[in-house]
Amino acid sequence: MAEQNSKRVYFPILISLSDRKCLVIGGGPIARHKVQSLEKFSPQLTILAPEIDEKLAEIAVKNKFEIIRKEYKTADLEGFDLVIAATGKKKVSAQIWKDCKEKKILINAVDDPEHCDFILPATVKRGDLTVSVGTQGRSPFLTKELRRWMNRMFTPEWEEVIDLAADFRKQVFARYSAKQREERDDCFARFLEVDWAALLRDKRPEELTKLVAAILEGKKLKLENNGSGGE
């Protein structure tokens, strides 16, 4: 049965962290997992803990993240926009939460929903494609399984599919004016009928070029094997 409406509900949002300073408090496997989730999105990341495990230190060096080796103090929050408490200690998380509330800093306390302003969804990233899923923090093990499913579904070729789709959109907009909305929509619909990932996986670039041209001209091109249609 669903819980009452008073439960904490999280709004899904994609936000740029390029100009926001992030602090991860913790130096073990929990912190490492969160840093790995953030490393592609947050260039200004600091890790704070008295001890940092070797793998986490390697990630920090590779990404030029700052490491501060000390116990957490309230003053350590100064200048940060977002905090992740990943110490695995609920008392410490509760104190960090309290300090963040006073300073109006957004905080995520790992595996401690009561002390979270936001949660980190399971995410699969392929170039500019970002696919995320979450369970409002209620079932992390299910979220992990869904991420494994997304990894299988969105193969590496999807990075090129996004580039192809972006370029196709530009061509459609250049070919058809804003008043030709129906023609634009028809082009997009035909584009979506094609299994572009399969074509890219089979390394058939000449077929890609011909197919894009045919779609723009309003034609349909029959493909062999897995070239058209979805699963």
**pLDDT tens per residue across span 139-158:** 889 999 999 999 999 999 99
pLDDT band for 206, please (50, 70, 90 cuts): confident
Work out the widest C-alpha separation in the chain, in whole angstroms: 66
Which residue type occupies 120? L
3-state secondary structure of 84: strand
**69 within 8 A of 52, measured Cβ to Cβ:** yes
Instruction: Return d(Cα 205, Cα 211) in angstroms, integer.
Output: 10
Instruction: Return the number of other C-beta atoms located less than 10 Å from residue 200's C-beta.
Output: 19
Write down the pTM of the prediction: 0.78
For residues 118-135, average pLDDT: 92
Buried b (16+ CB within 10 A) or exposed e, 104-140: ebbbbbbebeebbbebbbbebebeeeebbbbeebeee
Residue 8, pLDDT score = 77
* Residue 88 in this model has a pLDDT that exceeds 70: yes
What's the order of all strands across the beta sheet hosting 82-85?
66-68, 45-48, 22-25, 82-85, 106-109
Per-residue pLDDT, 2:
44
State the average pLDDT for the chain: 90
Tell which wins on pLDDT, 210 or 68: 68
